[in-house]
Amino acid sequence: MTSRTPRPRERGIPEATVARLPLYLRALHGLSERGTPTVSSEELASVAGVNSAKLRKDLSHLGSYGTRGVGYDVEYLIYQISRELGLTQDWSVAIIGAGNLGRALADYGGFGTRGFRIAALLDADPKTVGREVAGLSVRHIDELEDVVSDEKVSIGVIATPAAAAQGVCDRCVGAGVGSILNFAPVVLNVPEHVDVRKVDLSIELQILAFHEQRKAVGRRGPGWADALEV
């Protein structure tokens, strides 16, 4: 996310709202899995970690206002948000880097059900090329341009070591890939028209650490809380 170029508002939906829609969608999928038919804005906001006034405003951008005393229909709201995010069509994704992370991503069940099709997994290592991973045969990085063109890849997922990431990114962009999801611990430079998001897997751990710290302070008593403040 650090390397994401700010873009102007598109069709009136603020960028910050777009960033929150997947959070609502994740919360809604959780409710749907538990068989919950409707959800209040307060409840959905609490699960998604935003305040309910903001949630109502965000959803109003989608033309979704809920029903007084009932709330939002979970399945319909999933459909509305998915449509808004473009998830009702399939997006073709190429994963570059078939190490542990690339293989884990190729094998990740969540993508297929969310509108993403892993079209190819590529690697530079001859020992890895040709191996079967999640039903795909790993292809050589030299085939990248052909893969992008043949499979109409619009999103490239970079799961290479840091040193290889910029080179791979440049080749993706050169081949016409419009969006890059970067798992490598580097900041990538891309032209203006390309979107980059950087994933930092430690973010969720950081939120948990906050709660652990508070719990630890609670066990030690209030005196320690002040001491830790210093």
Q: Which residues contact 51 (CB under 8 A, 6 or more apart)?
A: 45
Binding residue for its own copies (CB under 8 A) from 35, 68, 204, 223?
Answer: 204
Q: How deeply is 106 buried, as exposed, middle or buried, from its count of CB atoms within 10 A (0-12, 13-18, 19+)?
A: buried
**Residue 135 marked ligand-binding:** no
Helix-strand-coil percent breakdown of the chain, rounded to 5?
Answer: 45, 15, 35
The span from the CA of 133 to the CA of 143, in Å, is 17
In whole angstroms, how close is the CB of 72 to its own copies at the nearest point?
15
Binding residue for its own copies (CB under 8 A) from 62, 154, 170, 175?
Answer: 154
In whole angstroms, how close is the CB of 170 to its own copies at the nearest point?
18
Binding residue for its own copies (CB under 8 A) from 6, 12, 69, 191?
Answer: 6
Task: Specify whether the CB–CB gap between 197 and 15 falls below 8 A.
Answer: no
**Residue 97 marked ligand-binding:** yes
Q: Does 164 bind its own copies (CB under 8 A)?
A: no
39-58 residues in contact with its own copies (CB under 8 A) are 46-51
**Residue 102 marked ligand-binding:** yes
In the chain the beta strands, taken as DSSP E runs, fall at: 38-39, 72-73, 91-96, 116-123, 132-133, 136-137, 139-140, 155-158, 179-182, 195-198
Binding residue for its own copies (CB under 8 A) from 79, 116, 131, 140?
Answer: 116
Binding residue for its own copies (CB under 8 A) from 34, 35, 135, 223?
Answer: 34
Angle subtended at Cα 29 by Cα 208 and Cα 74, rounded to the nearest 5 degrees: 125
Q: Does 125 bind its own copies (CB under 8 A)?
A: no
**Residue 100 marked ligand-binding:** yes
Bind-site residues for NAD(+): 97-102
Bind-site residues: 97-102
